[in-house]
Amino acid sequence: MSELRDFVEILRAAGEITRLRLLALLAEGELSVKDLTEILDQSQPRVSRHLRVLTESGLIARHAEGAWAFFRLSDEDSAMALVQHLLSQLDRNDIVLSADMARLEAVRKDHQMRAASYFSKVAKDWDRLRSLHAPDSAVEAAILELVADQHYNQLIDLGTGTGRMLELLQGHFKKGIGIDSSREMISVARSKFEKQKNDHMFVRLGDIAQLDEYAQSAELVMLHQVLHHFDDPGIALQSARKTLKPGGEILVVDFMPHKLEFLREDQAHRRLGLSHVQMAAWAASADLNVKTSIEIPHNKPGGGLTVCIWQLSDQS
């Protein structure tokens, strides 16, 4: 609980019409400065000033992605409780708030249209790759079985793509963060979560080699169809290891060794699968232990890709 003087400053931060509108909008999910400027029909500098006040008060949190900035309500319990109480006192049928929500819906529809346009361009290649390996349903069922009785405060999904692993495991974590280096993929995932109103799942533009801000923050880290894109998967695994809390686990989902050379050119695969021997060596270098591995065969006429799930545990 804040001291009296600090608490007064927090109330002053919230006690302004535009800032109350911002809080009401961010209660609906994470939004960028551009989104908020468009919805409020105010100048970017003015909106940014209000956002700065709310951020400094601890009522909202900011995340930068290059030249872009995204905002959401604070994760702090006391701040969340105060904001929820304040917003519960507002008349949701108020003409100003109603107009804000209508414009928010329009902005989100635009996000979804842009994301759908991009995804339609890559869907053909994805479908071709899916046709070569075990059904996604079998792979996902095996993943769910591994985490069946677990619940995590935070999960990090590296190379999240469209955020499928966050969707799959959403009943097993309090907060899920998906990180990907593709701005287009992040846009697809973000628009999908907006539509689903999943307010405990976030996606971030980022590099797997630069994860310092997530150091020791997750009990479970996912690497789903990621490592075969690296010349040295061991280095990528060591970077992922840094985000793991003591006693945490990493799930690696990838292909077993194969001879489909065309995937190097068509899908930017750097490695034609990963072997158990390689995984054990990479894990040991990252102070991880291979707890278990599950192979899911392709069963495709003429050959295909066998998927393996490696469960890696912290040795420290």
Helix H, strand E, coil C: the string for 60-75 is EEEEEECCEEEEEECC
Distance between CA atoms of 53 and 16, rounded to whole angstroms?
Answer: 11
Percent of the chain scored above 90 by pLDDT?
47
Q: Tell me, what's the pLDDT at 221? A: 98
Distance between CA atoms of 201 and 154, rounded to whole angstroms?
Answer: 10
Region 249-273 average pLDDT = 85
- Strands 173-180, 60-65: pairing is unpaired
In one-letter notation, the amino acid at residue 315 is: Q
The least confident of 108-122, 134-148, 206-220, 237-251 is: 108-122
Region 240-244 average pLDDT = 96
User: Over 80: is that where the pLDDT of 201 sits?
Assistant: yes
The least confident of 104-118, 151-165, 219-233 is: 104-118
Residue 296 Cα to chain centre, angstroms: 26
User: Over 90: is that where the pLDDT of 9 sits?
Assistant: no
- Domain ranges in the chain are 4-105, 132-314
User: Over 80: is that where the pLDDT of 83 sits?
Assistant: yes
Comparison of pLDDT for 288 and 305, the residue scoring more: 288
Long-range CB contact pairs, 171-174, < 8 A, 24+: 172/147, 172/220, 173/200, 173/220, 174/200
Region 117-137 average pLDDT = 67
User: Over 80: is that where the pLDDT of 266 sits?
Assistant: no
Residue 134 near residue 306 (C-beta atoms within 8 A): yes
User: Over 90: is that where the pLDDT of 8 sits?
Assistant: no
Please indicate, yes or no, whether the overall pTM of this predicted structure exceeds 0.85.
no
Region 309-315 average pLDDT = 92
Percent of the chain scored above 70 by pLDDT?
91
Query: Band of the pLDDT at 299, cuts 50, 70, 90?
Result: confident
Domain 4-105 part of CATH 3.40.50.720: no
Distance between CA atoms of 163 and 165, rounded to whole angstroms?
Answer: 6
The least confident of 35-44, 125-134, 241-250 is: 125-134
Region 63-74 average pLDDT = 79
- Homologous superfamily of 132-314: Vaccinia Virus protein VP39 (3.40.50.150)
Q: Tell me, what's the pLDDT at 166? A: 96
Query: Band of the pLDDT at 1, cuts 50, 70, 90?
Result: very low
N- to C-terminal Cα distance for the chain? 35
Comparison of pLDDT for 266 and 175, the residue scoring more: 175
Q: Tell me, what's the pLDDT at 80? A: 84
Alpha helices in the chain (DSSP H): 4-14, 17-26, 33-40, 44-57, 77-88, 95-130, 136-146, 164-168, 183-196, 233-241, 262-266, 276-285
Q: Tell me, what's the pLDDT at 316? A: 67
